[in-house]
């Protein structure tokens, strides 16, 4: 029974990495938060107590303070490395192609960095030894192979981050059932699958999930750990249902971390996110952006 329980926990895990942090011995001074982050903090939603099956029920994470973030080595965009790339792998249907373009547009707004979709490549690049048949007959690709043998070779100009997108299901190792995505934060590469995003939802439901997963994984590449401060897109997740419960919004603390290295215009980003959610009929995200805008205007 104990062995079975362990396997169940392993199957549920969905956000994996080979991240290694190194904290500098020369700690940077921590500046006070800008008024923007103080104002929107009131809109942060406290996390509910973890239920059985939730990420935090099994993973007792300590969180990441702003000070710890500043003093932990992480990627910061520069003039030489300031483009996010998406690499489609596989044969996508019309809806999936549209969703990839909408993800590209969203990431460009979310991170305030140019985001480019590269020319798609065939699944034939994945050899037989890096494929298998999953538990319900679906073909799965070995996520680590995509990172190590496909993406590491890609060197598009001015790359800050590179994420592969596949329509096939992913698995990280033989004893695991699946993962939504896998990333190497040190190498600034990741892969995410749209396969499970499509289940039991319409086009916009799938898009909402895909925006969360992609912004979450790329957020990790820029140094954001799992958030335990509020309901946030950087919360760890064990399942699609838990992902659905998580907010698409970065909480005030995670926004402050991201902004510290990027130094974009916070109000410009917020207005562009509001416009994106409105144009794509993503009402939950739109309501969250409107609340932040209203709070700032009233202060």
Given 201, 233, 256, the domain boundary residue is: 201
Residues 82 and 184 in one domain: yes
- Does the annotation mark 217 as catalytic? yes
Give domain status of residue 17, yes or no: no
SS3 assignment for the chain: CHHHHHHHHHHHCCEEECCCCCECCCCCCCCCCCHHHHHHHHHCCCCCCCCCCCHHHHCCCCCCCHHHHHCECCCCCCCCCCEEEEEEECCCCHHHHHHHHHHHHHHHHHCCCEEEECCCECHHHCCHHHEEECCCCCEEEEHHHHHHHHHHHCCCCCEEEEEEEECCEEECCCCCCCECEEEECCCCEEEEECCHHHCCCCHHHHHHHHHHHHHHHHHHHCCCCCCCCCCCCCCCCCCHHHHHHCCCCCCHHHHHHHHHHHCCCHHHHHHHHHHHHHHCCCHHHHHHHHHHHHHHHCC
Given 150, 169, 201, the domain boundary residue is: 201
Residues 50 and 143 in one domain: no
Give domain status of residue 61, yes or no: yes
Give domain status of residue 218, yes or no: no
Residues 190 and 238 in one domain: no
pLDDT, position 18: 45
Residues 96 and 187 in one domain: yes
Residues 191 and 257 in one domain: no
pLDDT, position 1: 38
Q: What is the pLDDT of residues 256-269, one digit of tens each?
A: 999 999 999 999 99
Given 150, 170, 201, the domain boundary residue is: 201
Give domain status of residue 132, yes or no: yes
Q: Out of 139, 154, 217, 274, pick the active-site residue.
A: 217
Residues 108 and 182 in one domain: yes
* Cα–Cα distance measured from residue 58 to residue 55, given in angstroms and rounded to the nearest whole number: 6
**164: CATH:** 3.40.390.10
* Cα–Cα distance measured from residue 196 to residue 29, given in angstroms and rounded to the nearest whole number: 43
pLDDT-flagged residues of the chain (< 50): 1-14, 16-25
Residues 64 and 129 in one domain: no
Domain range for residue 40? 28-74+223-299
pLDDT, position 66: 96
Give domain status of residue 266, yes or no: yes
Q: Which tokens sit at 86? A: 């998406």
Residues 193 and 231 in one domain: no
Give domain status of residue 55, yes or no: yes
pLDDT, position 172: 92
Residues 192 and 229 in one domain: no
Residues 40 and 117 in one domain: no
* Cα–Cα distance measured from residue 142 to residue 130, given in angstroms and rounded to the nearest whole number: 5
Give domain status of residue 18, yes or no: no
Q: Which tokens sit at 56? A: 């935090």
- State the total domains in the chain: 2
Residues 173 and 141 in one domain: yes
Give domain status of residue 8, yes or no: no
Residues 86 and 184 in one domain: yes
């Amino acid at each position: 029974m104990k062995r079975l329980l362990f396997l169940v926990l392993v199957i549920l895990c969905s956000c994996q990495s080979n991240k290694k942090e190194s904290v500098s011995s020369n700690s940077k001074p921590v500046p006070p938060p800008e008024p923007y982050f103080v104002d929107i903090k009131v809109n942060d939603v406290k996390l509910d107590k973890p239920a059985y099956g939730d990420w935090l029920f099994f993973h007792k994470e300590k969180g990441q303070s702003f000070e710890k973030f500043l003093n932990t080595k992480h990627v910061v965009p520069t003039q030489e490395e300031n483009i996010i790339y998406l690499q489609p792998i596989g044969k996508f249907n019309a809806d999936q192609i549209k969703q990839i373009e909408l993800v590209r547009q969203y990431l460009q707004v979310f991170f305030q960095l140019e985001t480019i979709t590269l020319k798609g490549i065939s699944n034939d690049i994945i050899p037989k030894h890096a494929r298998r048949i999953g538990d319900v007959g679906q073909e799965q690709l070995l996520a680590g192979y995509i990172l190590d043998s496909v993406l590491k070779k890609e060197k598009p100009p001015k790359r800050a981050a590179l994420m592969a997108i596949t329509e096939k299901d992913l698995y990280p190792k033989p004893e695991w059932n699946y993962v939504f995505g896998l990333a190497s934060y040190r190498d600034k590469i990741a892969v995410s699958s749209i396969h499970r995003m499509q289940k039991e939802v319409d086009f916009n439901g799938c898009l909402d999930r895909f925006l969360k997963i992609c912004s979450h994984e790329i957020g990790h590449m820029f140094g954001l750990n799992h958030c335990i401060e509020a309901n946030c897109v950087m919360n760890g997740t064990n399942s699609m249902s838990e992902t659905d419960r998580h907010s698409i919004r970065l909480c005030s603390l995670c926004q402050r971390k991201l902004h510290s290295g990027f130094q974009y215009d916070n109000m410009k980003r917020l207005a562009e996110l509001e416009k994106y959610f409105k144009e794509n009929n993503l009402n939950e995200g739109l309501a969250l952006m409107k609340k932040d805008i209203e709070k700032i205007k009233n202060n």
